[in-house]
Each structure stands twice: as structure tokens, then as C-alpha cells.
Amino acid sequence: MIEIPGRIPILIHPFFWLLATFIGWVNSGGNLYGALMWIGVIFFSVLIHEYGHALTSCLFKQKARIQLVALGGLTSYEGPKLKFWQQFLIVFNGPLFGFFLFLFATFSLHTWNLSPPVYQIFKITQVANLFWTIVNLLPVLPLDGGQLLRIILEASFGIRGFKASLILGAIIATLLAFAFLLIQFYLAGALFFLFAFQSFDLWRKSRIANAKDRDDDNRKLLLEGEVALAQGKKEKAIRCFEQVHQQASGGMLASSAAQYLAILFMNEGKHKEAYDLLLPIQETLGDETLPLMHQLASEYENYPLVAKISATCYQLSPSQEMALRSARAFAHLKEARLSGGWLQAAWKFGNLPLETILKEQEFLNLKDSPEFQQFIEKMK
């Protein structure tokens, strides 16, 4: 990890160099000298692009920070609340700076008498910046084009525009992925499939989003709670999360705050409070809290919910206890085959007191089921 201090700090992750090396090696045909040229051009071009974002944000009194990561660059900033036109300029000026770099390289190639190595560097700069400017303006998140689409639609239609930008981005990314695969650009195809999945997943989770989710005060308060939690200040974290849960009621921020609170309450033994928080938002639970919902639903005998989320939870956190809870839930629901299947999954972990468990009332209700007995016979 390389960190360059300054008014606009720059953090360079190791994976940035790995990906730049891979791109350079492929495009130079395995030539070491050519690969080094590509790495230098990629570093300089990405940095210029990110400075386009960062310097523009500074004009609007933001505190900017640049990170060079595996898939390129990332500029983050914080400060006074920005208007939509200011957000648009900050995003747009990244590709614009890259396009200026392309124009400069093109002018140099046609104007000056360059030596072969310098000519090659300018040629790579020309090609790389034109290609990246065009690709980066595609209306797909997290590319700048997707951000511009989001800003335009959100400025015009509010939260509905934000949601529309996600689903439109997912559709466009899917079409582009298929197009790249058809012309055998497999890496680009896989990358756009990833973008499509991310946009669709965010759209799915944003279905409960409301205008309060775009409120800077609520987002800052949630972040303050996350920082407090990371620092071990649980009481302060709970206060922040409870305030967000109340102020952003019904939205994504409220859902996130509720999940944080549920985890904290579970650690304090307040299972009922955690259950009451998670039950209304069961459709939007994250990977960390969905298994928790499975446990709480079982404790409070919500067997249909346990059955509904059993397969997903087991994929996220497979354990004997989770399989056994699922087996009991399906037994209560008189689902003999599924109950037997989950019981067998629990048995495979080993050391399962099968005879004792089969004497539990829910399993006694299935003792005459041929489907259930088939699983039992396999475990004896």
C-alpha cells in the first residue's frame, strides 16, 4: 500500500499494480519493455482522470481523496451538501480530463517529431484514453456514465429516478456483456455481467428506498454510528442507529440501522427486541442478519419464515444447528420429506443425538411417514 499525502491524498492499492501489469503484458504481447510503458501510461491516465473529479470537487469546497484500486480509480469527497449540477460536473470532469489527455497525445503524435520510444508512449496514451473515455461514459454503474444517468434521473424524478437508473443500468450492462461475449472479449463480458448483477442487486434492495434515504443528515448519522461501533462505543452507536431508524422510517437507511441494532441487541441477550426489528424488514436483510433472522424466527415459532429462508441461510452459514432448526420447522409444517432431508444434513456434521431428537414431539408426528422414515434409515 502506497500513500501519498497532500491536499488531495492518494492511496495506491497493490491490486492496482497487478491489474495494470496484466493489461500491459497482454497488450504488449508479453514484451517486458512494452508492458512497462503500458503500466506507466495506465498509472498516469487514471491519476489524471481522478484529478478531474477531485479538483472539481475542491472547487465546491469538498475535501477529496483519491484511491487507485484494482478496477481503476476512486475519488471520494465530503463537505457541504452539493446541488445536482455540482455533482454532475464532478463526475463529468473525470472523463473530460481523460479526453483532454487523448487530445494532447493526438496533437503530439501529429505535430512533433518524436523518437520511437516516446512515439510509442504517446500512441498508447492516445488509444488507452480514447477507449477508457468511451467505455467510462456508458450508462452503467459504477462507471461515470452510470453516475451521470443517476444524477439526471434523480434530479428529475427524485427517488424514483434513482431506482430507474439502477434497473436501466442493469439492462444495458447485460446487453453489453452479451455483445462482448459474442465478439470474444470474455474479460469485458464477465466484467459487465458483474456490473449488471451489482446494479440489479442494489435495485432489489432499494425497492423500499424513500426520499429520506437521500438525506445527507441521515446518511452521516448512520456513518457516525458505524464509526462508533468500530471503535467499541456501543452506547453511542445504539443512539445513532435508533435515531436513523426513527428519522428514515421505512427506507433503506432505516433497514440498515435496524440490522445493526438487532445484532447489538442479540449480543446483549435482547432477543425479542432483535426479532421485532428484523421481522418487518425480512425481505431486505443482508447476509449477516439473515441467519440471525433464521435463529430468532425459530425461537419465536415462526416456522413458515424459518422454512422460507432455510436454504439461503444454510448457504450463507452452514451448521448443524441451522440444519436442525430447519428440520424442526418443516416437521411442524408436516413437510416430511424436507424435514427428513434437513435432519440428514444435520446428521452429516457428526455427533448428532439422533435417538433423543426423534423423541421430540414434532418428529414423533412424522413417525408414520414413509418419506421421513427413508431418511431415518439412511442415518442408522
What CATH number has the domain bearing residue 218?
Answer: 1.25.40
Provide the 3-class DSSP secondary structure of residue 63: strand
The predicted structure's pLDDT at residue 294: 97
Mean pLDDT for 358-363 is: 91
Whole-number pLDDT of residue 207: 67
Max mean pLDDT range (48-57, 73-82, 115-124, 216-225): 48-57
As a whole number of angstroms, the distance between CA 61 and CA 79 comes to: 7
For residue 3, what is its C-alpha cell?
Answer: 500513500
Last residue of a domain, one of 207, 241, 256: 207
Q: Please say if the pLDDT value at position 217 is more than 70.
A: yes
Average pLDDT value over all residues in the chain: 90
pLDDT for residue 279: 95
Where does the pLDDT of residue 208 fall: very low under 50, low under 70, confident under 90, or very high at 90 and above?
low
N-term to C-term CA, the chain: 55
Same domain, 127 and 90: yes
Q: How sure is the predictor about 303, in pLDDT bands with cuts at 50, 70 and 90?
A: very high
Residues 54 and 100 in one domain: yes
* pLDDT score of 26 more than 90: no
Structurally, how many domains does the chain consist of? Answer: 4
| The pLDDT of residue 295 is above 70 | yes
The Cα 13–Cα 73 span in angstroms is 10
> 312 and 277: one domain?
no
Q: How confident is the model at residue 209 (pLDDT cuts 50, 70, 90)?
A: low
Residue 352 has pLDDT above 90, yes or no: no
pLDDT of 5 over the 90 cut: no
Question: Quick one: pLDDT at residue 210?
Answer: 67
